[in-house]
């Protein structure tokens, strides 16, 4: 049941997921973190149920800057998760 890539849906079950996060904790000390992640997500769509379980695995880049620019770095991020959407 594969479909053409329209928006973010690749197939009925597999979807593309992307996430960005920017943490600016204490700008006086110049502490910050940025994350850019992308990867597949799997959602099930059982008929006539209000609950839709999902799971995802995202891989990407994380950048960190510590206080007073004492250290900076770029790291590989891996995030995985899942849950249930209730409608």
Distance separating alpha carbons of residues 52 and 85, to the nearest angstrom: 5
pLDDT for position 8: 55
Hunting for tokens 């839709």 — which residue is that?
Answer: 52
Segment 49-61 mean pLDDT? 89
Mean pLDDT estimate for the chain:
83
Segment 64-77 mean pLDDT? 91
Enclosing H/E stretch for 76: strand 72-86
pLDDT tens track for 17-33: 999 999 987 778 888 99
Distance separating alpha carbons of residues 41 and 59, to the nearest angstrom: 12
pLDDT tens track for 35-45: 999 999 988 76
Strand partners, 16: 40
Q: Cβ of 84: how many Cβ atoms within 10 Å? A: 10
């Amino acid at each position: 049941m594969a479909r053409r890539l329209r928006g973010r849906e690749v197939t009925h079950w597999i979807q593309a997921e992307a996430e960005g996060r920017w943490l600016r904790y204490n700008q006086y000390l110049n502490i910050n973190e940025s994350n850019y992640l992308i990867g597949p997500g799997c959602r099930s769509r059982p008929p006539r149920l209000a609950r839709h379980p999902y799971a995802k695995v995202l891989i990407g880049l994380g950048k960190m800057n510590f206080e007073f620019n004492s250290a900076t770095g770029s790291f590989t991020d891996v995030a995985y998760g899942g849950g249930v959407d209730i409608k």
